[in-house]
Amino acid sequence: MEIISTIAEYRAFRSAIPNKKKIGFVPTMGALHEGHGSLVRQSVAENDLTIVSVFINPTQFGPKEDLGKYPRMLSKDAELVKSLGANVVFAPSPDEIYPVSPSQILFSLRDLDKKLCGASRPNHFNGVVQVVSLLFHIIQPHNSYFGEKDFQQLMILKQLVKEQHFPVNVIGCPIIREKEGLAMSSRNLYLSPEEREEALVLSQILFFIRDNFARFSSVEEIKRFVYEQIRQKERIQLDYFEVLEEDSLEEIATIEKTEKPHAFIAAFCGKTRLIDNLVLFP
Ligand code: AMP
């Protein structure tokens, strides 16, 4: 497995690959865990070559967010990627990706970014779309793999490739969880043992709602239940909880009329912002 840090070097590698070989791509910000591992495994199984990028993209962080302290551990990440059978880790510097200061281009996100994480993190999804577009141009993959943990991101990227005619399939992969249910995240590394214990409430809430969905009469009632659960946790501050129609991310009118309800939650656990989501229909 090779670690490549410049676009020129990657282009030399890419141009030597025969046309008929399928290339799978897994973009990440590093500090890899089994959630990332599952995407790499799927790519290795479905493609001839797999490229994993490790790039902490500055344009998707807000001014008060954790860009400076985001965990960096490239050699450990490269070991994991190698053990899973991928061929290249592409780990460019910010200057390599943005040789001039990042353009202020605004992408058409069709209001998909107006709710959930987009409402809490202005410009976040614009930064995501910016970097994923650049990485698609550079890597030139056939298939790309993204986790459903970032469900809104996945929807926005599917919209991007459709609208911009990128010749890339965007493939969504299921959320990988710790055995207690907590969705795996690089940011879980920030949690103290007490915070981690309380953070379990996020997935517990989602699974409880899914398993008892028929007993709730309205989304308001579900929300009241969620607020009450969170109120009991000293270290958790709710950012949002929503039940939305999965395909459109529109608010649902009534529970009975909703075909594909999907629950989304984000909360601060101490200073760490965590997200999770779950399909509520069978
Ligand atoms: P990140 O390094 O956080 O930018 O994530 C890189 C990719 O891994 C994104 O497509 C995420 O959705 C995906 N990912 C992160 N955590 C998980 C998880 N627990 N299960 C599945 N995919 C994940």
pLDDT in tens, 196-241: 999 999 999 999 999 999 999 999 999 999 999 999 999 999 999 9
Question: What tens digit of pLDDT does each residue of 127-162 get?
Answer: 999 999 999 999 999 999 999 999 999 999 999 999
Query: What atom of ligand 1 comes closest to residue 149's alpha carbon?
Result: 12
Ligand 1 center from residue 168 Cα (angstroms): 19
Name which residue sits closest to atom 22 of ligand 1, judged by CA.
147
pTM above 0.85, yes or no: yes
| Contact (Cβ atoms closer than 8 angstroms) between residue 44 and residue 22 | no
Question: What tens digit of pLDDT does each residue of 14-33 get?
Answer: 999 999 999 999 999 999 99
One-character DSSP codes across the chain = -EEE--HHHHHHHHHTS-TTS-EEEEEE-SS--HHHHHHHHHHHHH-SEEEEEE---GGGS-TTSSTTTS---HHHHHHHHHHTT-SEEE---HHHH-SSSPP------TTTTSSHHHHHSTTHHHHHHHHHHHHHHHH--SEEEEEGGGHHHHHHHHHHHHHHT-S-EEEEEPPPB-TTSPBP-GGGGG--HHHHHHHHHHHHHHHHHHHTGGG---HHHHHHHHHHHHHT-TTEEEEEEEEEETTT-PBPS-TTT-SSEEEEEEEEETTEEEEEEEE---
Six-digit token pair at 72?
A: 């960096």
pLDDT-derived band at 254 (thresholds 50, 70, 90) equals: confident
**So which residues are the catalytic ones?**
36
Question: What tens digit of pLDDT does each residue of 40-67 get?
Answer: 999 999 999 999 999 999 999 999 999 9
pLDDT-derived band at 101 (thresholds 50, 70, 90) equals: confident
Ligand 1 center from residue 71 Cα (angstroms): 14
Query: What atom of ligand 1 comes closest to residue 150's alpha carbon?
Result: 12
Q: CA of 25: how far to CAs of 52, 53, 88, 168, 182, in Å?
A: 6, 8, 10, 10, 26
Q: CA of 250: how far to CAs of 8, 14, 113, 258, 267, in Å?
A: 43, 41, 12, 11, 21
Q: What is the pLDDT of residue 2?
A: 97
Ligand 1 center from residue 96 Cα (angstroms): 23
Ligand 1 center from residue 149 Cα (angstroms): 6
pLDDT-derived band at 178 (thresholds 50, 70, 90) equals: very high
Cβ neighbours for 162, distance < 8 A, ≥ 6 positions apart: none
Name which residue sits closest to atom 5 of ligand 1, judged by CA.
28
Query: What atom of ligand 1 comes closest to residue 176's alpha carbon?
Result: 20
Ligand 1 pocket: which residues have CB below 6 Å? 28-29, 35-36, 38-39, 146-147, 149-150, 173, 175-176, 183-186
Query: What atom of ligand 1 comes closest to residue 153's alpha carbon?
Result: 12
pLDDT-derived band at 257 (thresholds 50, 70, 90) equals: confident
How far apart are the C-alpha atoms of 122 and 61, rounded to whole Å? Answer: 9
Q: What is the pLDDT of residue 112?
A: 92
Cβ neighbours for 12, distance < 8 A, ≥ 6 positions apart: none
